[in-house]
Amino acid sequence: MLLLGSSCLGPRVRTEIVEAHPAFLRGGFNGKKVFFAPMLPQRKLSNIPNEVQFHLMQSELETRFQEKHPHTQVIVADELEKAVEGISLSKLIADSAVIPMTAIQLQHLRQRGVDYLWVSLLQSNEEGNDTSEWTEETITTAEDFEGNETKTSVTTYTSGAHACRRMVVACYLYEVASGKRGWAAVSRDQRCHLNWVESNRDYLPAPAFPSAPRETELMENIVKDLMKKLP
């Protein structure tokens, strides 16, 4: 018997809170205004998503945040460069304890009534392919008309081709009034697509590799877990 198939493995998402000052966000987000900076790739990141993927990842973050905090005003990333004249987005890549803006730029945010600035960095985006083989034994029991049992063992040989993506996203939340960072988290996820072929006789050559999961697939899992950890 020959059987072909495909499936999705994962997710393996994990979010670690790396910074959370006790007094920060004590009053919550209700009635506050949160400005989301555009998600940026970490410096020297080799596998950078295309513009469409970045936009969808950013939209996922903003949308899920708004769903969790419906009484908070979310200012989307597309508005940042309009609101802060002369801002260098590359400076937001720095893992800084204070908002990497000039005093004048910070003043522009305060004049717009912005309470918090959210910065997201794509720290890692790795793809990899691999193959594997495994067996599974199935035993069936049957009785004849005299009540005698007969056991039959069937071994299934499976050859698989995996295409995986591993992604790490860091999120920083700054208080605009003080200019200081008060909350930070790092989220990791891994997800794989699998093509496989089965036989009852022996291992067959592994099938063609599937395409790796898109960044947006992992971002959906990351944001879901991130929102659970956010105050």
Distance CA 64, CA 169 (A): 16
Phi, psi of 67 (to 5 degrees): -65, -40
Q: Which domains does the chain have, with CATH numbers?
A: 2-229 (3.40.50.10610)
Interval 118-152: pLDDT, tens: 999 999 999 999 999 989 988 888 877 777 888 88
pTM of structure = 0.83
- pLDDT class of 1 with cuts at 50, 70, 90: very low
Interval 24-76: pLDDT, tens: 777 778 889 999 988 888 888 889 999 899 899 999 999 999 999 999 999 88
- pLDDT class of 7 with cuts at 50, 70, 90: low
Interval 155-195: pLDDT, tens: 999 999 999 999 999 999 999 988 899 899 999 999 999 99
| Tokens describing residue 185 | 């988290």
